[in-house]
Chains A and B, each alone.
Chain A
């Protein structure tokens, strides 16, 4: 499992308060731009008071891209949401997808940039601004391409192997360090008839 490796944002919360997970461009603080030297930056915030907010280093998050532009990173995030749509997952999780793809070699980066361009083309110019149905059509039209396969494959590890996804879907991860489930509900299901003691003997408790 990955712990959210997103940098702790120094952006004041009030400056990027929003509800949809995106921030309008004019609110970008210039100082932040100077501080980050990458090719692009993705950022947003996790709704205060949600269970996921407790996991993040800060409700506001920012992610520096090494090779992709902000627009390209944003497109990958949105493509991730079309492939694996989860209202329960904040943009911060989809940003992990962009981050993990961004880590590739020059050949991969070129493939991603070309793929993003073809996705925009399939969405009649601008994938990000297309409506949900048009986004789905665009993604379907590139299914099976190396770009599609690379993004879809990366989604499996980027989206589902991190602490926010664990929390959102109810998977606690490691259990040995908590003593397993022998005293923590491994047989607490009550909505079906109990098996007989022959079929399922009592646990040995010493």
Chain B
């Protein structure tokens, strides 16, 4: 591993997940010197744990946060709005692997859906066509099944139930998904062992994670200095209004200043806007890159609801991949259903401990116990749908509460939009119908819980007055400050976002390297 000096003006990337980890490798491959500051510790497939609570302590971002708004998460999990990771590799350690491209119409949400009251819709500043070549690179890099000649994964029992119900209802696009999990050995990683525990870090390394793909590849170039346990508290700028360095606390708790030529923020959609807001100065009193006032706004979390169904016969849904298959027929924009946008239905399973925690948060009594006793006979699915960006759904700095580094903690405010509620109700019914068609004796609607898909809080757009960054994630206000994670998303689409985050990072790396060569950065 390279070691760069604190006074070397390198490209500093904050975060090592899908956005930051990919961007780091792409830049290193082009000969750019990169320092990656990762708040979390270094793990490996060897240290990952097949134990839900212990793994949660090992990987999850557990720093205190507060919540407000009418969403149920504020009541059930007031200090845990998200289920994302603080570890090298970020949330790519925890993600289930679903890798779907955005649809063309989703990138033109304003044009397609029109003016929706209470929704701050915009078209993306780029089209699907612009992204296609980069999507292709990302799919190859990540080894997405059903692309590049890679076969689909074998479906587990949970998929068999989903598939049988879906087919009975006449759904057409039902298969084991486009997954960044090796179905066959590829890129020095083995094929999936159907271990389960995809959420707890893949112990076989079959699932793509920047931890053991992008970051080691970057290391081979000699151009990366990866610093785990390094929590960034502030981005600094010079008199000209360009960012010049970052302040962080290192693994020994010592405050450090790393000089930077370019700063790329990839801390996921809560921490990224928080860091910009925490970096407010006399020159930028509302925070960095926030002349539009949009930093922290338009927070989206995908529809996120789940359905469990009990059957007379065993399912053993925990065996094998967590996201084992998909129904895509409801993903389109069909307003006859009473809402705009669409949703995916994807299998989901939880172990017994997390089933107790998430089935019906706060629930108790004999009905709850009945569901727990059905555990071996349960099948489960997750709803991933497009939720509406709203200016008032936002990340702000808490007025009073500070973290251990003395920085204001983030508050996450979220109110469901009527469109979200209509879509969720439709999806609950559709999901229940799938399981009833497969012979379920009972179904259960699990409410949204802490989200892993967090988007939109530093959105990209054409107009600097209404967006934070341009289509390359370059902030409108500060040309050497970039947004490199899902915060860039103008709207959320219905698809799991990781593939798009990786795609945007590859595209951003090309842009940064070119701008550096032409001395614009």
Contacts and interface: CB of A to CB of B under 8 A. Distances in A.
Given A195-B155, A201-B153, 16 more contacts: A83-B364, A84-B372, A152-B362, A157-B356, A160-B353, A169-B372, A170-B314, A173-B351, A175-B319, A187-B320, A189-B315, A192-B160, A192-B438, A193-B167, A195-B167, A200-B160
B151 interface: yes
Interface in B31-67: 50-53
Contacts of B376: 169-171
Q: Which of B53, B161, B353 is the most central at the interface, judged by chain A CB atoms within 10 Å of its CB?
A: B353
Interface in A112-168: 152, 155-157, 159-161, 165-166
Interface of B: 50-53, 151-157, 159-161, 163-164, 167, 174-176, 183-185, 191-197, 203-204, 313-316, 318-320, 325, 351-353, 355-357, 362, 364-366, 368-369, 372-373, 375-376, 438-439
Contacts of B153: 200-201
Interface stretch (A27-35, A46-54, A97-105, A177-185): A177-185
A67 B208 CA distance: 48
Contact of A180 (B154, B159, B194, B366): B194
A161 B353 contact: yes
A175 B369 contact: no
A182 B315 contact: no
A160 B176 CA distance: 30
B157 A186 contact: yes
B294 to A, nearest CB: 37
B195 A181 contact: yes
A176 B318 contact: no
Contact of B369 (A84, A180, A204): A84
A194 B167 CA distance: 11
Contacts of B362: 152
Given A170-B375, A204-B184, A187 B176 contact: no
A85 interface: yes
A79 B161 CA distance: 37
Contacts of B164: 192-193, 195
A1 interface: yes
Contact of A166 (B197, B352, B373): B352
Nearest to B174: A199
A160 B353 CA distance: 5
B157 A198 contact: no
A88 B375 CA distance: 13
Contacts of B365: 83, 85
Nearest to B351: A171
Contact of A173 (B50, B185, B375): B50
B202 to A, nearest CB: 9
Given A83-B364, A192-B161, A194-B160, A175 B154 contact: no
A200 B155 contact: yes
B197 A175 contact: yes
Contacts of A170: 314, 316, 375-376
Contacts of B50: 173-177
B98 to A, nearest CB: 16
B320 A169 contact: no
Contacts of A85: 365-366, 369
B204 A176 contact: yes
A188 interface: yes
Q: Interface on chain A toward B: helix, strand, loop, or mixed SS?
A: loop
B197 A200 contact: no
A141 B176 CA distance: 48
B327 to A, nearest CB: 11
B356 A176 contact: no
B357 A156 contact: yes
A163 B174 CA distance: 36
Nearest to A190: B313
A86 interface: yes
A100 B274 CA distance: 36
27 contacts: A1-B353, A84-B368, A86-B373, A152-B364, A159-B356, A160-B352, A160-B353, A161-B352, A161-B353, A169-B372, A169-B373, A170-B316, A171-B318, A171-B375, A175-B197, A175-B319, A176-B195, A180-B194, A184-B319, A189-B161, A195-B159, A195-B174, A199-B174, A199-B325, A200-B153, A201-B152, A201-B154
Given A165-B352, A195-B160, A84 B364 contact: yes
B51 A174 contact: yes
A179 B155 contact: no
Contacts of A160: 352-353, 355-356, 372
Nearest to B361: A156
Contacts of A86: 369, 372-373
Contacts of A171: 318, 351-352, 375-376
Contacts of B197: 174-176
B155 A88 contact: no
B500 to A, nearest CB: 25
Contacts of B356: 156-157, 159-161
A15 interface: no
A160 to B, nearest CB: 4
A186 B176 CA distance: 14
B365 to A, nearest CB: 7
B196 A181 contact: yes
A157 B352 contact: no
B369 A186 contact: no
Contacts of A204: 151, 183-185, 191
A179 B193 contact: yes
A187 B351 contact: no
Contacts of B372: 84, 86, 160, 169
Contacts of B319: 175, 181, 184-186
B96 to A, nearest CB: 15
Interface string A51-87: 0000000000000000000000000000000011110
A181 B160 contact: no
B320 to A, nearest CB: 4
